[in-house]
Amino acid sequence: MTELTFLGTGTSQGVPMIGCDCEVCRSGDARDRRLRSSVLVTTDSGVRIVIDTGPDFRYQMLREHVGKIDGILYTHGHMDHVGGMDDVRGFNYVMQRPVDVWCEPRVEETLRRVFDYAFTEPKYPGVPEVVLHPILSPAEAFEVHGVRVVPIRGMHYRLPVLGFRIGNIAYLTDMNAIEPAEIDKFRGVDVLVINALRREKHISHFTLDEALAVIEAAGPGRAYLTHISHQLGRYEDLLRVLPKGVFPAYDGLKIRA
């Protein structure tokens, strides 16, 4: 069994959104307060893998009392998914070693540009230390400290991005298109996590209906929606209208599969 912890389930601006006074942003329900999207995968063998380190990464690690991680997977290079990489410094200090990172070459370029101080030589004391492992083909599975990871290609408008399958859990975020051959990679999984930004059409994210169509095509045991904006509505209202076996995720939720 593998445990999945939702570190954050919000869109790039989070919920509540700065300056917004809508009913979702004013909600007193803790499940309506969403940090930037990220998950922690913990295997029964004790391997801990984080998918994406957004700007809320430090707080998410503190909230979940995470003392060590074995690897980071990056879906793509937008700041709401990589902006917290600097905070791996805490793990460097505690574990006394670099953190292994798997990403596509275009994401590596972003990391080297945004966090240039982490890669220049000689290294300045205290910079985040990572070992970059390139994902050269979404058609090939790879291992993270003995854990098999299957990359899943999707499109984020014109930007190719990755989702990942680990065991019986598949995680997709920031997609608005995916080919049937990629859906085959996670067909019938126990748990599918997929982004569902809002009900109205969006240029680079699945709408609720589009996410539900992928869920129907994949036929998972259960599905969880993530990367949710305030435009999708309150947690309780959304929960009531979703099909059987489909749930809105929320920050801090833990599931096993």
Task: Give the confidence band of 248 by pLDDT, cuts at 50, 70, 90.
Answer: very high
The pTM (predicted TM-score) of the whole model is: 0.98
Q: Is it true that domain 2-251 has CATH number 3.60.15.10? A: yes
Task: Give the confidence band of 120 by pLDDT, cuts at 50, 70, 90.
Answer: very high
Give the pLDDT mean for 125-153. Answer: 97
Rounded Cα gap, residues 238 and 201, in angstroms: 17
- Burial status of residue 240 (CB atoms within 10 A of its CB: 0-12, 13-18, 19 or more): exposed
Backbone angles phi, psi at 47, to 5 degrees: -75, 130
- The CA distances from residue 137 to 5, 18, 102, 104, 195, in Å, are 27, 38, 12, 8, 23
Strands 169-171 and 2-8: unpaired
Q: Which two tokens stand for residue 80?
A: 């709401």
Residue 145 is predicted with a pLDDT of: 97
Q: Where are the domains of the chain?
A: 2-251
Which H or E run contains 73? strand 71-73
For residue 5, list its beta bridge partners.
40, 254
Task: Give the strands of the sheet with 147-156, arranged side by side.
Answer: 142-144, 147-156, 159-166, 169-171, 191-195, 222-226, 246-248
Q: Tell me which residue of 133, 130, 76, 79 sits closest to 102, measured CA to CA.
A: 133
pLDDT tens digits for range 40-85: 999 999 999 999 999 999 999 999 999 999 999 999 999 999 999 9
pLDDT tens digits for range 11-49: 999 999 999 999 999 999 999 999 999 999 999 999 999
